[in-house]
Amino acid sequence: MNATTRLGTSGLRLRTATNLAVLLFVSVLAIKQLSTIIQPMVVAVFLFFAIRPPAAWLEKRIGHPLLSYTGVLVAFLGFIILISQILFSSLSGFSSEVPSLTPKFNDKIEWVEGLQFFGYSVDLEGLQSVVSIEEINRLVTEFIGSLASFTANMLTVLIFLAFIILEAESLPGRIMAAFPDESNRFDSIAKKAEKNINVYIKTKATVALGQAIIAGIVLSMFEIPGAFIWAFLVFILDFIPYLGAFLSFIPPIILAFIQLPITGFVAVVVLLVGNQQVWGSFVEPQLAGQRLDMSPIVLLFLVAFWYWAWGLTGMILGVPLAVIMKILLESDERTLPIAIMLSRNPPSSIEDKNDDSVSID
């Protein structure tokens, strides 16, 4: 390679890096400042991917796409309303038990502080200022309140979703007519993104629901207050990688510590952790085929970023958005090295990567 060629290649890489930096800066500003518009639109896109398979199945039987999508949406909204009613009822029941649970919590703290381990005792005074039944109730109430505010924005989501459904049939043809030279690449990106997102949604929803049902049964068997709330938390927080499962365990474990003898407390901990490990380590890989090819550090960074931008909704949407981002980066040779840097198991060469996908199935 002569000096002119090297200079041209270096200049191309510099321009690509500069363009990506400008695009990233503008995107971050838009995501944060225009969240009231962009967030419902993104939710609508993922909701479209989620309802498209059952709507397509229903369309084959009734022969009308709009009726099939309407039927699936009505069923989905009815399910959301039912879960919301049960959730708020469970929250009211738990809140009414907080005054009686607080003395039990203080008694258990005093009991632990009275234990001696090789002549040393445990001081939990600092822990009591951070963890308490009132604090758990406050955090859960705020969490469910954030879900309620999200539900209140469903009208905006449904408006975006209606336009997406109407555009879904004609948009590919318009893209092919407008960009004939790039139509194959756009089609490949769209199909790969839809395939991966569908697999992700189907897998995570199945695994999260399975974990939540078993966790709810376990907590109900041990008569833990607010069992439905904690099972719901297990379902929602399982969509947050790495941290979600740990966070969902904290309230029910604290309540088990208060309510149960030491054997019952250990049993609850073992059953909850074992339930998560079975579904996360064995069932999920079987359903998805393999784990998402994303670096754990990258996923944690993206979860933190989306939490900063959109709160809890952003944390849940962070992984599928990462899938789309990685597919887009892989679709262009200039950004392919970045996609490789984001991978958990990078190929030995870029040529090998050209034959792979971001597939999680």
Q: Are the CB atoms for 112 and 128 separated by under 8 Å?
A: no
Asked if 215 and 231 count as a contact pair (C-beta separation under 8 A), the reply is yes
Using CB atoms within 10 Å of the CB of residue 263, give its burial: 0 to 12 exposed, 13 to 18 middle, 19+ buried: exposed
Cα–Cα distance list, 112 to 86, 100, 107, 116, 238 (Å): 35, 20, 9, 9, 31
Other C-beta atoms closer than 10 Å to the C-beta of 6 total 10
Q: Tell me the whole-structure pTM to 2 decimals.
A: 0.77
Low-confidence ranges of the chain (pLDDT < 70): 1-17, 19-20, 113-130, 146-152, 169, 171-175, 177-180, 182-183, 286-293, 345-361
162's tokens:
């209606």
Q: How many CA atoms lie within 13 A of 91 on its CB side?
A: 19
User: What confidence tens digit (pLDDT) does each residue in 77-96 have?
Assistant: 888 888 888 888 888 888 88
How confident is the model at residue 212, as a pLDDT? 92
**What CA–CA distance (Å, rounded) separates 209 from 211?**
5
Task: Output the pLDDT for position 20.
Answer: 67
Q: How far is Cα 40 from Cα 42, in angstroms, rounded to an integer?
A: 6
User: In this predicted structure, what is the pLDDT of residue 216?
Assistant: 92
